């Protein structure tokens, strides 16, 4: 609150008019007469900084949806790129609506051991509405909360969309559009919020001491388990695994887009992990955020180098896609506990994440599980490792961390598997062979992502048709 110093006077000088004297008087008053007004101003500043932090970090996390879109659209064949674009903007929209109508309440409001409130809709607090209506004395109650109610909702919502994006890439090129949207609705409105209630919402895993700073398991492994269930139910793309045991190469249609997508994801990860400090109200928060962002960088970088190094013995070549997925795996691995001060641990954790992801990509091929973008190795496998790695550098309890991994994995996989099966019975989960052969862009949308290109008939499709 600004003081009026025009009437301050000294015994021998009369009215104080000189600037140095005014400044001196203000300093003396500030030191000798601290007031509640100063404290309120500090609390209001903290409120603004915390709210702004949620909003700006949330925007960065939302930008990860663009990264997933680029990565997936570049990974699939050109005949399916348009559908990928529609799926990603659709899943983000569904996630926002589902989290508004039911998801946030289920995850954070009146949480017991297993779930929160089933109350519909979410909105600003009564104190905030009174403040907007210019009610007297409403501001102290708003400021006391520490941040704006809806800024927290926004930051939490963009995490939900990330979980759904993981599923999109894994089952690309053969899942029906509306079946996928139906699954996303249940994933973002029910499955993810229940996992969140167990952990970040204060449920039974939180009571046990389960640690997951920004979501290696809560976000990434949840998406990975849901994707793995979809892969099992939907099956592989046509002719991906040939009868003679060979694997049909399906190189990305746009390597540049895939690489750009990974860089966008890496950029968004700074909001993902940095924003999970959940405050920016002082020097401690600023230092902690700096540490988190450095560890995030080091983890991703180590994942890239290790993945490239091991790709030759595993795949017989230096593999670009392994390196790109290694970046994601390193970032996922360090996400569970990026707040440690010994930064070399980030290099170890991220590097192991890159190694496990690359080995996981090879294992998926051996098991004949068709994951178009390598989402399961990058998000599920690296997420499990990162959650356990909290015990190394961030003080986690191994049995508690393992309990959380197993419980969340069992719940998400079994529930997702059941949902995919029910959807298959009701409306079908897979496009027809004709649609898959032509491509979903033309067959379902009537639009091509690259209309100037001439798409050559697939040799395996032609052979299956007897031509």
- Which DSSP symbol is given to 13? T
All residue ranges of the chain with pLDDT < 50 are 1-38
**Structure tokens that stand for 408 in this block:** 């969340």
pLDDT given for residue 20 in this prediction: 42
- Asked if 332 and 188 count as a contact pair (C-beta separation under 8 A), the reply is no
To which residue do tokens 């609390």 refer?
43
Q: Where are the beta strands (DSSP E) in 245-297?
A: none
Q: Which residues contact 437 (CB under 8 A, 6 or more apart)?
A: 238, 458, 461
Specify the pTM: 0.87
pLDDT given for residue 464 in this prediction: 57
pLDDT given for residue 246 in this prediction: 86
**Structure tokens that stand for 233 in this block:** 């139910």
DSSP assignment of 89-114: HHHHHHHHHHIIIIIHHHHHSS--SS
Tell me how far apart the alpha carbons of residues 467 and 464 are, in angstroms, rounded to a whole number: 8
Task: Quote the distance between the C-alpha of residue 133 and its chain's center.
Answer: 35
pLDDT given for residue 120 in this prediction: 93
Angle at the Cα of 165 (from 97 to 308), degrees rounded to 5?
160
Tell me how far apart the alpha carbons of residues 225 and 223 are, in angstroms, rounded to a whole number: 6
Domain boundaries, the chain: 38-445
Q: 284 in helix, strand or coil?
A: helix
pLDDT given for residue 457 in this prediction: 62
Name which CATH class applies to 38-445.
mainly alpha
Q: Which tens digit of pLDDT belongs to each residue from 412-440?
A: 999 999 999 999 999 999 999 999 989 99
pLDDT given for residue 42 in this prediction: 87
pLDDT given for residue 18 in this prediction: 43
pLDDT given for residue 462 in this prediction: 56
pLDDT given for residue 459 in this prediction: 65
């Amino acid at each position: 609150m600004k003081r009026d110093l025009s009437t301050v006077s000294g015994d021998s000088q009369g009215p104080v008019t000189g600037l140095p004297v005014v400044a001196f008087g203000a300093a003396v008053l500030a030191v000798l007469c601290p007031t509640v007004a100063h404290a309120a101003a500090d609390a209001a500043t903290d409120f603004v900084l915390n709210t702004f932090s949620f909003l700006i970090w949330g925007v960065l996390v939302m930008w990860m949806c663009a990264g997933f879109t680029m990565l997936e659209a570049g990974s699939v064949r050109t005949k399916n790129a348009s559908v990928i674009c529609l799926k990603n903007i659709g899943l983000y929209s569904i996630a926002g609506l589902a989290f508004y109508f039911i998801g946030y309440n289920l995850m954070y409001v009146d949480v017991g051991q297993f779930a929160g409130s089933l109350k519909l809709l979410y909105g600003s607090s009564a104190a905030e509405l009174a403040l907007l209506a210019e009610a007297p004395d409403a501001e102290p109650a708003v400021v006391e909360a520490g941040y704006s109610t809806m800024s927290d909702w926004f930051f939490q919502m963009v995490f939900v969309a990330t979980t759904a994006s993981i599923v999109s890439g894994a089952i690309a090129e053969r899942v029906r559009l509306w079946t996928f949207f139906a699954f996303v609705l249940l994933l973002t409105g029910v499955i993810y919020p229940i996992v969140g209630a167990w952990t970040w919402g204060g449920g039974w895993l939180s009571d046990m001491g389960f640690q997951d700073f920004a979501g290696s398991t809560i976000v990434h492994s949840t998406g990975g388990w849901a994707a793995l269930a979809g892969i099992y139910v939907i099956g592989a793309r046509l002719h991906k695994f040939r009868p003679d045991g060979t694997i049909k190469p399906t190189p990305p249609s746009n390597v540049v887009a895939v690489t750009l997508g990974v860089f966008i994801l890496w950029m968004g990860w700074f909001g993902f992990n940095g924003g999970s400090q959940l405050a920016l109200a002082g020097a401690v928060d600023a230092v902690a955020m700096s540490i988190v962002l450095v560890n995030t960088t080091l983890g991703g970088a180590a994942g890239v180098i290790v993945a490239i190094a091991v790709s030759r013995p595993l795949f017989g070549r230096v593999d670009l896609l392994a390196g790109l997925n290694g970046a994601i795996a390193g970032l996922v691995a360090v996400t569970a506990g990026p707040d440690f001060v010994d930064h070399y641990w980030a290099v170890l954790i991220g590097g192991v994440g890159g190694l496990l992801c690359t080995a996981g990509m090879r294992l998926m091929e051996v098991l004949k599980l068709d994951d178009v973008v390598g989402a399961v190795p990058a998000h599920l496998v690296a997420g499990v490792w990162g959650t356990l790695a909290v015990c190394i550098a961030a003080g986690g309890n191994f049995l508690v961390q393992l309990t959380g991994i197993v419980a969340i994995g069992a719940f998400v996989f079994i529930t997702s598997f059941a949902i995919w099966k029910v959807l298959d019975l009701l409306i079908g989960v897979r496009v027809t062979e004709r649609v898959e052969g032509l491509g979903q862009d033309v067959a379902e949308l009537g639009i091509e992502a690259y209309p100037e290109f001439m798409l050559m008939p697939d040799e395996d499709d032609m052979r299956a048709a007897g031509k």
